[in-house]
Amino acid sequence: MVSVSEEYAVRRDVAKRAFDVLVCSVALVLVSPLLVALAVAVLLDSGRPVFFRQTRVGLNGRTFRLLKFRTMVVDAERLAPNVSATDDPRVTRSGRFLRRWYLDELPQLVNVLKGDMSLVGPRPETPEFVALFTPEERRVLSVRAGIAGPSTLAFMNEAELLADADDAVRLYEEQILHERVQADLSYLDRRSMAYDVRLLLAQVFAILRRLR
């Protein structure tokens, strides 16, 4: 027999998925001219490929290919560790613009439509960082990763923190990574459509405040 709490969780997850699909479908139609313009800008500035695909760990530990506009030079991951500070020399001219306005994240709407991600949820990490999770921290893998979420909001200054560090990789692995996960763990206990909408709006307003 299905308990009331289990029935609520199923309905909540179905509603969340429907919300994701509806919002992303509308958003992709509305921003399609912008996506084309940004793709052309990346192509003219630094050539192909226009998109950057990276393996991330999502729901139940399954990996997927996260999609972004490319903001760094080709093969940037071979030139330096997988963290990026504000002064990262690998970032291209168009990449600096895209990152400032968070426009490099727009292609992840496709990941949401595919079911790899949700609009709101824990930030998806790469496999080498997930390997550093404690058993408790691995609870964040019990829900779909999100474009926006508590840790994304809390660490919008991450690039600046890394730029000020003597050892950016060590700072990320030993401190920032785990603080981000702790922030995202709080999402698991507060999940609801109303909370998702609040987080999405908070993310938009936070971006606008940074651009003043």
Q: What is the pLDDT of residue 37?
A: 98
pLDDT tens digits, one per residue of 18-74: 999 999 999 999 999 999 999 999 999 999 999 999 999 999 999 999 999 999 999
Residue type, 39: A
For residue 64, give the 3-state DSSP assignment. strand
Q: What is the pLDDT of residue 2?
A: 56
Could you give the CA distance from residue 10 to residue 8 in angstroms, rounded to a whole number? 5
Q: What is the pLDDT of residue 80?
A: 74
- 3-state secondary structure string, 14-59? HHHHHHHHHHHHHHHHHHHHHHHHHHHHHHHHHCCCCEEEEEEECH
pLDDT score of 196 more than 60: yes
Spans of all domains in the chain: 4-210
C-alpha distances in angstroms, 10 versus 3, 14, 196? 11, 6, 16
**pTM reported for the whole predicted model:** 0.93
pLDDT tens digits, one per residue of 90-148: 999 999 999 988 999 999 999 999 999 999 999 999 999 999 999 999 999 999 999 99
Residue type, 135: P
Contacts of 68 (CB under 8 A, 6+ apart): 51, 52, 53, 54, 104, 105, 107, 108
Task: Match 């709490």 to its residue by tokens.
Answer: 5
Give me 162's structure tokens.
């890394």
